[in-house]
Every structure is written in C-alpha cells, then in structure tokens.
Amino acid sequence: MYPEIQPYSQGFLHTEDGHRVYWELCGNPEGKPAIFLHGGPGGGCSPAHRRLFNPERYNILLFDQRGCGRSTPHASLENNSTWDLVADMERLRAEVLQTEKALVFGGSWGSTLALAYAQTHPRRVSELIVRGIFTIRREELRWFYQEGASWLFPDQWEDYLAPIPENERHDLMAAYRKRLTGDDRKVQLEAAQAWTQWESHTITLLPNAAHLLEHAADDSALAFARIENHYFVHNGFMEEGQLLRNAHLLHAIPGVIIQGRYDVCTPAKTAWELHRAWPQAEFHLVDAAGHAFDEPGILARLIAATDRFSTAPARVVL
C-alpha cells in the first residue's frame, strides 16, 4: 500500500433526520476525486483505507456510514438504510468533493453500496472498483448466517450459535436481532461479540490476528453487529436480486471487479454473476485469497486498479 497519510480536511455532514456523518479528505486537493466505501455495514473506515490510493494523484473522500466509526448517534438504526447512505454520498460528492463525477471504490458491503449508488446516479461515477461482491440476496445471507459456511468453519460456527437457544436457531438473523435490539446491555454485547467474531474469523484465507482485533472492542462490535443485522433482516432495503437485475445501468462505466476464489463471506458465485451481467468491467478472480481487502493477491489488484484509473481525467469542478 501507499505510505500512511493524514487527512487535510475533516468534518461532519449533518443530515435532516438526526445523524452526524463523519468525513475526511486525504491526498491531493487538486487530484482525481475518489469516494471510498467501507464494509459492514457498520464497519467504519480505518487509516489503512487511505493507503489504497496514490496520494499525489487522488483527492480521496472517506466517511463513516451512519451509526458507526466516528459518526453519531452510535449504533443507531433509525433512518439508517441503503438509500439514506446513497443520499449521504450524493451530498458528500456535491458539498465536500465539489465535483461532477468521482471514482467509487467499495468492498464487501461497500460493493453493495457502490453498486446501488452507481445504478442510482450513473452519471456521477467516473469509474467503479468493487471487491468481494455482495448483492444482499437471501441466498447470500443464508449461506453465511444460517447455513453453508458452517460446513467450512464448524468450530467457529459453534461460537456463533452459542448465544441463541436451539428453539430459535431456525432463523438466526431474527434471533440475533431480538438480542441486539433488546434492553439488556450484557445480552446485547454477548450477541454483538459472537456475531462480529464469526465474521472476523472467516474473512481471510489463513488466520490473521489483526482482523480478529479490528472490532473486538465492545462499542465497535455493537455498532458492527447491530447495523449489519438491521440491514440484513431488511434485505438491504432492496428488492430481491435488484443489483444484478439492474447491472445494465453500469455498462457505460469503466470498472474493475476483484474477487477472492476462496471467499467464504461473499462466495465467488455472486462476483461471477455480476461479471456476466456487466461484461464491460475487467474481472479478476484471485486464486490464493479469501475475502479481506489486504489478502496479498486482492491488494495487488486493488492498487493496480487505482493506479490505472489515476491517469484518467481528474476533477471536474461544480
């Protein structure tokens, strides 16, 4: 990755429905505009995410989506939907980046949000880079949170099941929602930690201690688990199959799709289906990789993609 950098500007977007969305700008103020979208939902941005772009060539906008990271109110589910986030992105593009178009970069849930934004505002996206493709269909959710992935990680699956009584295990996402939105702080945190650690233990091809610690703190785990679960029980606030069905809206946007072959969280089947629906995009299936952005093969492809697009036309000021 590129060297560590600090924001040259930061602040909060005040929404009309009670949220303060943290944003920061990094890199070159006169560089090519780019919007980075973190995963989760509920994951928040980290300093490492700034390092995916050449800071001399890019003006990078990063923001913590509603309810997580430095955004407030913490772990809030009110007025927190995909379309609220798409609206936040549009305001940040116009008011903070002050550009007509920007490159959009998202991985995992960030790929979901990137696709939703690009399909809603295709003329605002100069290029699209997506990784670990997730379109929030029921089969994708059930694979990871109800069945499927448990066959590969039976030991970690037992820890995921532990907070849920056997008579509620027929619908684990609903059972977790009951606990994550309840009034008992101890029960909330037990569920949040189990939900979060299930993902943290399965996102890399080989064990990675750094990922296990990423959302280990109680407040971070609570935001991550509550917001993820909230989106997933509501099917991402989208119609089933919407993002693949509307992939034709992306055909004029230069794009790159990057996917780990052994991604357990968001299996390669979905990335392949997006590739078939959006054949104009460059497609990379990385053999020795799981889900995380910093798997070596995935990271190399991501840096290559941002480097490639850094020479494309830069900022068009509003």
Residue 158 confidence class, pLDDT cut points 50, 70, 90: very high
Residue 230 designated active-site = no
Q: What is the mean pLDDT of residues 141-169?
A: 97
Residues 6+ apart with CB under 8 A from 215: 43, 196, 200, 221, 224
Among the listed residues 19, 38, 211, 291, the single catalytic one is 291
Residue 12, pLDDT above cutoff 70: yes
Catalytic residue among 84, 263, 275, 310: 263
Choose among 230, 64, 71: nearest CA to 136.
230
Q: Check residue 96 and report its DSSP letter.
A: I
184 included as an active-site residue: no
Residue 317: per-residue pLDDT? 58
Query: Which of 105-114, 164-173, 206-215 bottoms out in mean pLDDT, i.e. has the lowest?
Result: 206-215
Q: What is the pLDDT, as a whole number, of residue 314?
A: 56
State mean pLDDT over 65-72.
Answer: 98
Q: Please, which pLDDT band fits residue 212 given cuts at 50, 70 and 90?
A: confident
With bands split at pLDDT 50, 70 and 90, how would you rate the model's confidence at 213?
A: confident
Q: Above 90 in pLDDT, residue 181?
A: yes
Looking up tokens 């029921």, which residue turns up? 138
In this structure, what token pair is assigned to residue 114?
Answer: 């990137």
For the segment 10-30, the average pLDDT, to the nearest whole number, is: 97
pLDDT digits (tens, 9 = 90+) for 96-143: 999 999 999 999 999 999 999 999 999 999 999 999 999 999 999 999
Domains of the chain: residue spans and CATH? 9-137+237-309 (3.40.50.1820), 139-235 (no CATH)
Quick: pLDDT tens for 34-57.
999 999 999 999 999 999 999 999
Q: What is residue 211's predicted lDDT score, i.e. its pLDDT? A: 84
Give the SS3 label for residue 32. Answer: strand
If you average pLDDT over every residue of the chain, what do you get?
A: 96
Count the helix, strand and coil residues of the chain and give each as a percent rounded to the nearest 5.
Answer: 45, 15, 40
| 108 is known as an active-site residue | yes
Q: From the candidates 71, 108, 126, 150, give the one annotated as an active-site residue.
A: 108
What pLDDT is stored for residue 214 in this prediction? 83
How much is the average pLDDT of 180-209?
Answer: 95
pTM of the model as a whole: 0.97
Which residue in this structure is represented by tokens 């994951």?
43
